[in-house]
Amino acid sequence: MYAVAGIVMGAVWVLGSDTPAWEHALRLVALVVCAGAAMTLVHRRRVRLGRPADHRLHAGLLLAKILLVVAALVLDGVLGLWLSEPSVITAVALTVSIAAGGPALHRWLSGKASGAGAGAGAGHGPGPGPGPGSRVPCRTGSLGGA
C-alpha cells in the first residue's frame, strides 16, 4: 500500500516537472487532502463496526504527509541550484521515503497511540478480547482428553 502511494506521489511530482515546484507541492497537498478524506471515511467505518480506530494515528499520518511535501519542495529547490532537472531525484526520494518510511511510521504511531506497548497492538499487553465469532480454547484445568 505504501509502495503504491509512493509511486503515485513520485509520478505526480515527475509529471509536473515542467511547472514550478510550488505547483508540485500544491498537487501533492491536493493528494494528501484526498487521502485524508479517504482515511476519515475508513476511520468512521471502523468506529461504526466496533473496531479500534485511533484519531492520533490518523492525524500523525496526515501531518507526516504534509511535512513530506514540504521536505520535497525544499529538496527540489536545493537540488535546483546544482541540477537542471531536480524533479526526478525529488520524485525518487518521495517514492523511497513513502515506501520505506511509511510502514515504519505507521507502526511507530500505532505503538505510541496505544500507550507505548501497553495497549492492543500486535500482541502487546491485554488488548480487547476476541472479536465476534472467534474461537478461544477453554482452559478449565484438565490437561488432556475430552
Closest CA to 15 of 1, 31, 2: 31
Give the global pTM. 0.60
**Residues 13, 96: Cα–Cα separation, whole Å:** 13
**Residues 61, 10: Cα–Cα separation, whole Å:** 18
Give ∠ CA 97-24-62 in degrees, rounded to 5.
50
Closest CA to 31 of 17, 43, 13, 44: 13
Segment 82-134, tens digit of pLDDT: 988 888 898 899 889 888 888 888 778 777 544 444 444 444 444 444 555 54
Segment 15-70, tens digit of pLDDT: 877 887 677 778 777 877 887 788 788 878 878 888 776 666 767 777 888 888 88
| Residue, of 60 and 139, whose pLDDT is higher | 60
| Residue, of 52 and 139, whose pLDDT is higher | 52
Q: What is the pLDDT of residue 82?
A: 92
